[in-house]
Structure 1
Amino acid sequence: MLTDADLRIARDAGIAVHADRLILDAQPPITDAALEQIQAKTAAPVPPELVSLWRTSFGGRLDYDLRAELNGVDVPLSCSELFYPDSDGYQDLWGWIAHECEIGEVERLEWLPFAGFEYLDRIYAGRDGIVAWQQGLPPAWEIRPGDRAGRIADDVDDLFAQLSLEADPWSGEDADAGESLRDAVDALAGDGHPELAAKLRTIVRRAVLDWRAAVDSGAVRHDRRLRRLALRNAAARDDVQLLDRLAALGADPAEEVGSSLTAIDVAVQRGSTGAARWLLARGVPVPNALRVGAHAVTLDLARELLARGARPGLEAVAGAVRNPDLAVLDLLVEHTPDRPAVAKRLQDLAQWSKVDNARAAALRDLARRLRA
């Protein structure tokens, strides 16, 4: 339990706690004057849960994972910034409010942008809950084209409850989020506040998704997020035994594990040949495997993936440029029909990508042969 003294010490270190989650680079609480300014730009009262957040910290930084289903697809969302006036972000809170008023051609907003990441992801609060918008990838990228939007939470507290960590930051495991939380807490311990650091460490760990316990108990079969996380870890770590356990628990090997990728896409991407072979033996579809994993696939596996229906293309060719075996690049070039486009991509990669001189020369030579 955090005491008032704990909260003051944490605040002096730039840490605030709201809804059992840590806010880093925590800003001072919102003033009544600032709240009135914001209220003047909104068509409905500012949601009380958002006001509560701002009374704790009027902006800051988060370091948690967040996933949501937008337009029927499970995607990662970046909620790393809590917007505030005069921040050093892509735009500050006033900038985002002005931006939304401009594009909506309105004076007052129905949905108030309060979090996200630069121009890519934005999260809004309104009278009907929390919605998110995500800028899509270019149409040429077939895995996740187009912008996405949708309702993701009932209110700010519900949103904070969804902020999670896919690995314990103190475990040494690779993870997309949590390192900044770990460093901030450890810095407090180093500054002579070990008891407070221990309390904050406990709070951080409550957000960790324990997929291992869910596998051991069998509960993973009923929890999609944990099941997908377990499948993704098994594929990334080439853990065939874990794949066997998950299959026995009813997990679908072809299930999406995030961002339109399946376990075999992750296995190929990470060079997990054993897991890839296990998944192929169970007939999982492979259309995107080479697009995301051409840099790590073996030549034999690339041939098998092509035979199973994996799509080549410019993305796969670009990935294969980094493959240690240039025969994989030759194979994918051979199966990509638009030779002029491939030649141009290879020439560009030879000039701009970080490859050694020998490989750059090989790319230029292949581009010349394609043009010929």
Structure 2
Amino acid sequence: MTVVPDGVPPDLFSDGELGALSEAGIALFAGRVVLEAQPPIDDAVLGAVAERCAGPLPEPLIALWRTAFGGRLDYDLRADLEGHDVTVSFSELFYPGSGGYHDLWGWVDHECALAEEHWPDWSGRLVHLPIGGFEYLERVYVDTATGPEHGVVDCWRQGLPAGWELQAGDRIGRMADDLRALFGQLMLEHDPWALEDDAIEAGVDLRDAVDDLAGGTDPHARTAAEKLRRLVQATVLDWRGALDQGTLVAQRRLRRLALGRAAAGDDVESLARLVAVGCDPSEEVYNGLTPIDVALRDGATAAVRWLLDQRVPVENSLQDGAHAVDLDLARDLVDRGAMINATALSRALDNQDLEVVQLLARAVQPDDTLAGLVPRLRMLAAQAGQDRDRSAVLAELADRFDPNHSV
């Protein structure tokens, strides 16, 4: 029996096409594609999950599980977590026996153990049911408690090690009013059919699944692939089109995507045009990064200089871009107030200009975090080989930051 897709016109796919999608492990929910879709949930398992929850399972979650009880997603998702626009990896829909870091029951038990540990008067039933995420790093929850928050979708994101992003520490936040609304936020920042075959971007697996369908001998699969491709490409964010139409500034996700993409691509012309229509060149674009941070990270020197001419703040710039600056630019950023800390110095160790490393090392304020750089400094000093100057400088820095070193 084929399942009628949720969130697409009911007559879009024929029964034969739906059968071909099912055979390929593809399901549709809220207009988005689920890959490696598992069979729909049965009443017994649905009841068993509901028994672990504080209130009734929200209708959108039941609808998803009646469509596919587990699978994989391949879209870009952004969320505002504790005031920061961050990328959320929502790639797995949990289900029993998934073989992942935990399956659905494993995550339910994990959450129950945490609740029992931290809430002495816990009822024994979960308010926040984990329904998907990415390994152990990110989880998406649906609120099951009766009341105004019933069905709301929240996210937890584990903090990453220093140097991966500007702000460490776990983050939590509300993502959507319900699960269908969350799926509506699943978009693509690149057209997967415009990417190189070996690109590592969201949408590549979607593209390959559609192309596999299109390349088969089943006529139902081929016509289903054509329709599926249109559904996928309809989720591609078109910031240039919005800019041409004069609608971009009011759309936060498109606006931030545009600023980040122009900065990374060293596209000064687009940056100037974006600012001319009202975009803020110092706005955070994602993961705590502003356009100048993105430009520095990607070595987009023309964009960096143009942004500096706009007098954008540079406080965090060297924490993500110290590996790519030359000595003059490093001095300029320091003079403008760029923060020099262990993260910035760690990034500078990837810079081929030894004078940049020395500049930042002289400016850094000593603290306990610098001791964490000592093993890497000693390793790099040993690897410098015939470059005796570099080896000597790195070894001297290791001694300087090593709390156990005696002069």
TM tier, shorter chain?
over 0.9
Match of 1:250 in 2: 278
Match of 1:179 in 2: 204
CA distance in 2, matches of 1:14, 1:213: 33
Match of 1:198 in 2: 226
Equivalent position to 1:73, from 66, 84, 87: 84
Match of 1:108 in 2: 125
CA distance in 1, matches of 2:109, 2:65: 19
Secondary structure, aligned partner of 2:191: coil
Percent identity reads: 50
**Aligned residue type for 2:206:** L
Q: What is the CA-CA distance between 1:176 and the residue it aligns to?
A: 3.5
Q: What is the CA-CA distance between 1:327 and the residue it aligns to?
A: 2.6
Equivalent position to 1:331, from 353, 359, 367: 359
Match of 2:185 in 1: 162
Count of equivalent residues: 371
Say if 2:104 is the partner of 1:93: yes
CA distance in 2, matches of 1:19, 1:216: 29
1:269–1:297 Cα contact (<8 Å) kept: no
Match of 2:395 in 1: 368
Say if 2:245 is the partner of 1:217: yes
Match of 2:39 in 1: 28
**Aligned residue type for 2:237:** L
With 333-342 and 121-130 compared, the bigger mean Cα shift is at 333-342
Match of 2:147 in 1: none
User: Deviations for 1:160-213, whole angstroms, at most 9, x for unmatched residues?
Assistant: 001111111111276741111111111222223432222111111111111010
Q: What is the CA-CA distance between 1:346 and the residue it aligns to?
A: 5.0
User: Deviations for 1:34-61, whole angstroms, at most 9, x for unmatched residues?
Assistant: 1011011011111111011011110011
1:167–1:175 Cα contact (<8 Å) kept: no
Normalising by structure 1, we get a TM-score of 0.93
Unaligned runs of 5+ in 2: 1-11, 117-121, 144-149, 400-406
CA distance in 2, matches of 1:240, 1:304: 20
Say if 2:38 is the partner of 1:19: no
Q: What's the C-alpha RMSD, in Å, of the aligned pairs?
A: 2.4
Alignment of 1:279-298 (within 5 A): 279-298=307-326
CA distance in 2, matches of 1:78, 1:21: 16
Secondary structure, aligned partner of 1:151: strand
Residues 1:347 and 1:363: Cα distance change in structure 2 (over 3 Å): farther
Match of 1:129 in 2: 152
Say if 2:205 is the partner of 1:188: no
1:347–1:363 Cα contact (<8 Å) kept: no
**Aligned residue type for 1:153:** A
Residues 1:14 and 1:275: Cα distance change in structure 2 (over 3 Å): same
CA distance in 2, matches of 1:108, 1:339: 45
Equivalent position to 2:55, from 44, 49, 73: 44
1:351–1:360 Cα contact (<8 Å) kept: no
**Aligned residue type for 1:165:** L
Unaligned runs of 5+ in 1: none
CA distance in 1, matches of 2:104, 2:387: 45
Q: What is the CA-CA distance between 1:154 and the residue it aligns to?
A: 1.3
Secondary structure, aligned partner of 1:100: helix
Q: What is the CA-CA distance between 1:278 and the residue it aligns to?
A: 0.7
1:291–1:316 Cα contact (<8 Å) kept: yes
Equivalent position to 1:64, from 64, 67, 75: 75
Secondary structure, aligned partner of 2:37: coil
User: Deviations for 1:135-180, whole angstroms, at most 9, x for unmatched residues?
Assistant: 2245898822322222211111111001111111111276741111
1:63–1:181 Cα contact (<8 Å) kept: yes
Alignment of 1:315-354 (within 5 A): 315-338=343-366, 342=370, 345-349=373-377, 351=379
